[in-house]
Amino acid sequence: MSGFFASKWSGFALIALLLAGWELLARSGVVATVAFPSFTRVFDAFWTLVSTGQMTGLLLPSLARLFAGYLIAVALGVALGVLMGYFRQAYVLFEPLTELLRPIPSPAYVPIAILFLGLGNEMKIFTIAFSCFFPVLLNTYSGVRAVDVIQINTARTFGKGAGATLRKVILPAALPQIFTGMRIALAIALIMVVISEMVASVDGIGYFILNAQRSFRVPDMYAGVITLGLLGYALNALFVWLERHVLRWHIDANRREVA
Amino acid sequence: MSFLSLQGVSRTFGSFTALEGLSLEVERGEFLAIVGPSGCGKSTLLQIIGGLLAPSGGSVRFGGAAVSGPRREMIYVFQQYNRSLFPWRTVRRNVAFGLEDTGLDRVEIERKCAEYIELVGLKGFAEHYPHQLSGGMQQRVAVARALAFGADVVLMDEPFGSVDAQTRADLQDLVLRLWREYRLTVLFVTHDIDEAIYVSQKVLVLSRAPARVRAVLATDLPYPRHQVKTKETPAYLAHRRDLYSMVMPA
């Protein structure tokens, strides 16, 4: 038995057990079935979405917004973060502003964004980019500020100018922390794409979930939520894969330190 | 006119004076060891010569021109080799670092990297990352990287301070061999008097901070040196006695 709990299968078994419990609870009629359809009905709805190709149509607009907003945030966050980490004047200038804006919960920007950008993609991409920007910015400038002065002096003694020092020393040295910010931002991007689509949209996964609930297509609603779970898992797996490739040296070096 | 000359160099950090009115002449091709009590400003002096730190007063002249920043002809080898090597670059790419952005083409850079990696005895480790190497091997990479850069003057700041005794002896012999082979000028900071004598032609003794030149003593020992035999000669022992009495007054 202890062998089973130590194996990786115990976690999957727990999920299977919970799904079986869900099925039993729904079929026994203890909970109102309209709000709580059985797992098999939800899975049917999910499978219909996938097999009819509707799923692609649901996810594509959401993924396009997510990546557009996310990539804008990463580009701007890294650029300003490097500036703030590298130049003390930039840090002094921008730090109070970022500290003021950062604690405001991102969904609060949505109504403002609607006023200026309307209900379309611009508003959604802006909200996603704005929310993802701060974790990337913060991690980038603290990563840049933490670059070892000996590495910078090494670049100096080898006669490197500011550009080469930035590209060949500061950015790679700060990259592990930049990735930390990018990972946090990715989770936020998924949250914000759903919120912005629920507030104002005619397509996308967030719109689909809310619309299914309002038109009493309850199994579809659950299927949408499960889709988000799978999507979040897939995005994170993609990120981990990318990180392993880009930061192989860092992961290996730290593993050795622990060992 | 000297190859490298310091005139009345001072350096303060806030209210602390590390160096005061220090003057020094170094000839081309010289191997000068720099010793002194710990915390006396040896590294500060070396960093000023290397253009990494500006003096608060006085001047450093190299080949007749004032030194106001890092110069192509000089390379600094840091004491903390494990922090100076780039962990994201392999041995080969670390050695290539100094050669990039200098107008050399790829083929030439690769050829030089291979040459210097072999020179420091790391053939077969070119594709290793620094964390996969021992401390002594990492310091060899740092030495290869510095020499591949092709500077005439190598400034070494306690380069072998944190490796084991055997490795240290090997590295001393390696540096001596490279110094002779490439006709380098080496300024070698160390807190180890035996090491200073073993490698040098001259030993510069600094006083307690604020550091001034206490003495410059010639090391009258023939090259090539031998880790055991050289250290048994009367000349070596007499030199060692003189230096100890200066660095550590009774």
pLDDT in tens, B187-203: 999 999 999 999 999 99
B140 or A256: which leads in pLDDT = B140
- Among A26-35, B32-41, B107-116, which is the least confidently predicted range? A26-35
Tell me which chain B residues have a C-beta less than 8 angstroms from the C-beta of A243: none
Residue count (chain B): 250
Distance to chain A for B87, nearest Cα, Å: 7
Cα–Cα dist B140/B133, whole Å: 10
Residues A10, A142: Cα–Cα separation, whole Å: 39
Percent of chain B with pLDDT over 70: 99
pLDDT band at A74 (very low <50, low <70, confident <90, very high): very high
Q: Which of B47, B53, B131, B162 to mutate to test the interface with A (most CBs of A within 10 A)?
A: B131
A36 DSSP 8-state letter: S
User: How far apart are the C-alpha atoms of B142 and A36, rounded to whole Å?
Assistant: 66
**Contacts of residue B119, Cβ cutoff 8 Å, sequence gap at least 6:** B144, B147, B178
Residues of A with CB under 8 A from a CB of B: 148, 150-151, 153-154, 156-161, 164, 168-169, 172-173, 175, 249-250, 252-253, 256
Q: How confident is the model at residue A259 (pLDDT cuts 50, 70, 90)?
A: very low
pLDDT, averaged across chain B:
92
- Smallest CA-to-CA distance from A61 within A228, A201, A237 is with A201
* Alpha-carbon dihedral B180, B184, B187, B193, rounded to 10 degrees: 0
Token pair of B187 as six digits: 């300024």
CB contacts < 8 A, A to B, total 61
CA distances to A63, A222, B228 from A58, rounded to whole Å, are: 9, 14, 79
What is the spatial order of strands in the sheet that B16-26 belongs to? B16-26, B4-13, B57-62, B65-66
More confident residue, A33 or A48: A48
Residue B183 has pLDDT above 60, yes or no: yes
Residues from chain B contacting residue A158 (CB–CB below 8 Å)? 70, 75, 97-98, 149
pLDDT tens column, A128-155: 999 999 999 999 999 999 999 999 999 9
Across A24-51, average pLDDT: 89
What pLDDT, on the 0 to 100 scale, is given for residue B179?
A: 95
Residue-level pLDDT at A3: 72
Check: CB of residue B20 under 8 Å from CB of residue B176.
Answer: no
- Asked whether the beta carbons of residue B86 and residue A253 sit closer than 8 angstroms, the reply is no
pLDDT digits (tens, 9 = 90+) for B125-167: 999 999 999 999 999 999 999 999 999 999 999 998 878 889 8
- pLDDT at site B90: 96
What are the C-alpha distances in Å from A240 to residues A180, A186, A188, A234, B218? 11, 12, 16, 10, 60
Q: Contact B83/A153, CB-based, under 8 Å?
A: no
Q: Is the Cβ pair B100, A164 closer than 8 Å?
A: yes
Tokens read off for B42: 């040896």
> Which positions ≥6 away from B156 have C-beta within 8 Å?
B77, B175, B186, B187, B188, B189
Looking up tokens 């900071």 gives B189
Query: CA–CA separation, A230 vs A249, rounded Å?
Result: 30
Question: Would you state the structure tokens that stand for residue B152, as one six-digit string?
Answer: 């005439």
- At A165-214, the pLDDT tens digits run 999 999 999 999 999 999 999 999 999 999 999 998 889 999 999 999 99
CB contact under 8 A, A157 and B75: yes
The pLDDT > 90 percentage for chain A reads: 82
Q: Would you say A64 and A245 are in contact if contact means Cβ atoms under 8 Å apart?
A: no
**pLDDT of A251 higher than 90:** no
More confident site: A255 or B140 = B140
B185-222 burial string, b = 16+ CB within 10 Å, else e? Answer: bbbbbbbebebbbbbbbbbbbbbebbbbbbeebebebe
Strand partners, B215: B205
Q: A159 and B83: CB-CB below 8 Å?
A: no
The Cα diameter of chain A in Å comes to 76
Residue B188: alpha-carbon gap to chain centroid: 4
Q: What is the pLDDT of residue A256?
A: 61
**In chain B, what percentage of residues exceed pLDDT 90?**
80
Using an 8 Å Cβ cutoff, are B91 and B133 in contact?
A: yes
Q: How many other β-carbons are positioned within 10 Å of the β-carbon of residue B100? A: 15
Does the distance separating the beta carbons of B97 and A168 come in below 8 Å? yes
> Are A132 and A192 within 8 A, CB to CB?
yes
Tokens of A3: 């062998």
Whether residues A169 and B52 touch (CB distance < 8 A) is answered with: no
Q: A189-220 b/e with 16+ CB inside 10 Å = b? A: bbbbbbbbbbbbbeebbbbbbbbbbeeeebbb
Mutate to test the interface with A, among B53, B80, B88 (most CBs of A within 10 A): B88
Question: B128-164 burial, b for 16+ CB within 10 Å, e for fewer?
Answer: ebbbbbeebbbbbbbbbbbbbbbbbbbbbbbbbbebe
Distance CA A172, CA B94 (A): 13
The CA distance from A185 to A189, in Å, is: 6
The CA R_g of chain A, rounded to the nearest whole Å, is 23
B97's CB contacts (< 8 A; 6+ apart) are A154, A158, A168, B86, B89, B145
Q: How far apart are CA A63 and CA A181, in angstroms?
A: 20
Six-digit token string for B94? 């670390």
pLDDT digits 0-9 by tens, B110-129: 999 999 999 999 999 999 99
With beta carbons under 8 A apart, name residues in chain B contacting A256: 131-132
Residue B52 near chain A (CB below 8 Å): yes
SS3 track for chain B: CCCEEEEEEEEEECCEEEEEEEEEEECCCCEEEEECCCCCCHHHHHHHHCCCCCCCEEEEEECCEECCCCCCCEEEECCCHHHHCCCCCCHHHHHHHHHCCCCCCHHHHHHHHHHHHHHCCCCCCCCCCHHHCCHHHHHHHHHHHHHHCCCCEEEEECCCCCCCHHHHHHHHHHHHHHHHHHCCEEEEECCCHHHHHHHCCEEEEECCCCECEEEEEECCCCCCCCCCCHHHCHHHHHHHHHHHHHHCCC
